Amino acid sequence: MRALSIAASGMQAQQLNVDVISHNIANMNTTSYKRQRAEFQDMLYQNMERPGSTSSASGSILPLGIQIGVGVRADAVGRNTEQGGIAATGNPYDIAINGRGFFQITLPSGQTGYTRAGNLAVNADGQIVTADGYAVEPAITVPQEATAVQITRDGLVEVTTASSPDPQQIGQLEIASFINPAGLEAIGDNMYLETPASGSPNTATPGSPGLGTLMQGYLELSNVNAVEEISALIVAQRAYEMNARVITAADEMMQSTTNLR
């Protein structure tokens, strides 16, 4: 009775699908979150009669054959890297990337992390850091006497002071892009790590060819669409129920066989 194991694999697949959808819905309001999508493949087939094999001594060829699948399995959980909406915050240290690119962050481990979450701040030393206190690369320190901070579209950081109203340049923000951003490893906290699948980062100033520009006082929103996620959840739930019904039907068929006299 293959139907039991086939339907069980279908239930496991839809459970994973629901897990991914619930994670998307939970992060609807997470800054710069990128929605995920579960992808599946059919499993190996059992060839009872292989297509194209001979069926007689005269050399007749089977046009179809008999191949029976044994279920479904998870292939990957892909990430949709499409840009989310842009919302104004009015905070001078909130920065949205309009286009391709990631901020570079120095992690406590010494590794370089990558994020599109631009909700930055300054620490006690005046250094521009993430909400978790991790320094932005390249390091930029805002002087204590600064009265205003301006970040241009191409990442130039300037400040004005009470003694010098003319803008003074204190640093240059750079962003990185990847040939396959979906191949980055998500480690939580809106942070990603480079992997062999993502390729090496291409680092340059914002606005360079192939890179986005910066928007001071704005944040990128999640790209989760609530209507699409709820619709996908309903479809996954119905698919799960149908697989459960297959198991019930297979069980009833086995009982009928057992009760034969």
The DSSP element (H or E) to which 132 belongs, if any, is none
144 and 247, same domain (yes or no): no
Please give the model's pTM, rounded to 2 decimal places: 0.86
127 and 154, same domain (yes or no): yes
* Least confidently predicted of 82-96, 108-122, 154-168, 233-247: 154-168
55 and 7, same domain (yes or no): yes
**127 DSSP assignment:** B
Handedness of CA 9, 10, 11, 13 (dihedral sign): positive
Query: Is the bond leading into 138 cis (omega within 30 degrees of zero)?
Result: yes
139 and 238, same domain (yes or no): no
200 and 124, same domain (yes or no): yes
Please answer whether residues 240 and 18 qualify as being in contact, where contact means their C-beta atoms are separated by less than 8 angstroms. yes
CA distance 114 to 133: 14
CA distance 141 to 190: 23
Is residue 223 predicted with pLDDT exceeding 80?
yes
155 and 211, same domain (yes or no): yes
- Who wins on pLDDT, 178 or 63? 178
153 and 169, same domain (yes or no): yes
104 and 156, same domain (yes or no): yes
125 and 190, same domain (yes or no): yes
> How large a percentage of the chain has pLDDT more than 70?
99
pLDDT per residue as tens digits for the range 49-61: 777 777 776 777 8
149 and 163, same domain (yes or no): yes
Provide the 3-class DSSP secondary structure of residue 217.
coil
Number of domains in the chain: 2
97 and 212, same domain (yes or no): yes
Q: Which domain holds residue 187?
A: 86-220
Q: Which two tokens stand for residue 181?
A: 């951003």
67 confidence band (pLDDT: 50, 70, 90): confident
253 and 206, same domain (yes or no): no
pLDDT per residue as tens digits for the range 138-172: 999 999 889 999 999 999 999 998 888 789 999 99
Q: Which two tokens stand for residue 56?
A: 């007689």
pLDDT per residue as tens digits for the range 114-129: 999 999 999 999 999 9
